[in-house]
Amino acid sequence: MRDFLTRLPNVELHLHIEGSLEPELMFALAKRNNIDLPYATVEEAKAAYHFDDLQAFLNLYYQGMSVLRSEQDFYDLAMDYFQRASQEGVVHIDMHFDPQAHLQRGVAFDTVMAGLLRAKQDAEASLDLSVGMIMAFLRDRPADEALEVLEQAKPYWASLDAIGLDSAERDNPPAKFAALFARAKALGLARVAHAGEEGPADYISQALDLLDVQRIDHGVRCLESEALVRRLRESQTVLTVCPLSNVSLNVVDDLRDHPLPRLLAEKLKVTISSDDPAYFGGGLLTNHLACAEAFGWGEGVFRQLNRHAIEEAFMREDRRQALLQRLAEVSAQ
């Protein structure tokens, strides 16, 4: 199964680049920037990667990104993940990044973008990899601030594929950001949003109705509403499900109890991603292997999941058709 999954043209739609910061790189960047970490060793840092809920993870997540200061730091962060993912058979990544989290620390917007865009350019030139750019906004920050950041990003609008909505979901409904998403739509940007992870099924409906999103990130709690499941099935709105993330954050207690099999049985358009792989146990290949073991999935399920991801990824149409052809060739072997 590992060999088969590595040969597939794997596509990841839900990846937070700041969440790919492995402890080894964290320590290297901390040394480069003369930053003291609250851990004495890499092993001690890894031992801290246990969370009771989303907020506990976010606290560590924001602490970890404190080592990101320069353009080179952001470049190294992204290239580190791009290289690891490519070695595991990933051929496209839709990458979320969180400018507000860096602006709050005094890191200039241009610094973030220069590093990430240079990494994207180099990865696309040197690896069998394409990269979509999703500028995500923190839902536990003010909506007016998000609008200001979107306008600040004007020099980079042409480099963005979409905007997203992430961070603490509880008590931060999608409705709060209706004006932001309307502005992004007017600019011609695609729109995605985290919904139905810790928040209720109604947050998924709000994201669809009030934010006019093309994609729901997570979405596992849609099963709480039969009407919503019907709607998602009829519209074939993609759900970017992150199984090991859901276990790590106690959305489910055990992967074997995850609703993924039921989501597929309901004929929903599901994909699998790693979310924040440094914190949640591994990248896309690790998530695929864990699902194969937990659910007894065969090769056909993973072909289907990757077909969904290729169809929905933010990529050039010629790239999409080439990857669909490669998927068909692997399937025929």
User: Is this prediction's pTM over 0.85?
Assistant: yes
Average of per-residue pLDDT across 317-330: 97
Determine what percent of the chain is predicted with pLDDT higher than 90. 90
Q: What is the overall mean pLDDT for the chain?
A: 96
Catalytic residue annotation? 197
Asked whether the predicted pLDDT for residue 39 surpasses 90, the reply is: no
Model confidence band, residue 257 (pLDDT cutoffs 50, 70, 90)? very high
Task: Give the model confidence (pLDDT) of 94-137 as tens digits.
Answer: 999 999 999 999 999 999 999 999 999 999 999 999 999 999 99
**Considering only the top CATH level, what class is 2-22+77-332?**
alpha beta
3-state secondary structure 50-73: CCCCHHHHHHHHHHHHHHCCCHHH
Give the pLDDT confidence score for residue 267 in this predicted structure. 98
Tokens of 69: 């200061």
Helical residues (DSSP H) of the chain, grouped into ranges: 2-7, 23-32, 42-47, 54-64, 71-87, 99-103, 109-126, 143-152, 178-186, 201-210, 226-235, 243-248, 260-265, 284-295, 299-312, 317-332
Task: Give the model confidence (pLDDT) of 197-237 as tens digits.
Answer: 999 999 999 999 999 999 999 999 999 999 999 999 999 99
Parse the chain into domains and list their residue ranges: 2-22+77-332
Tokens of 94: 């839709």
Helices 23-32 and 71-87 cross at an angle (nearest 10°) of 160
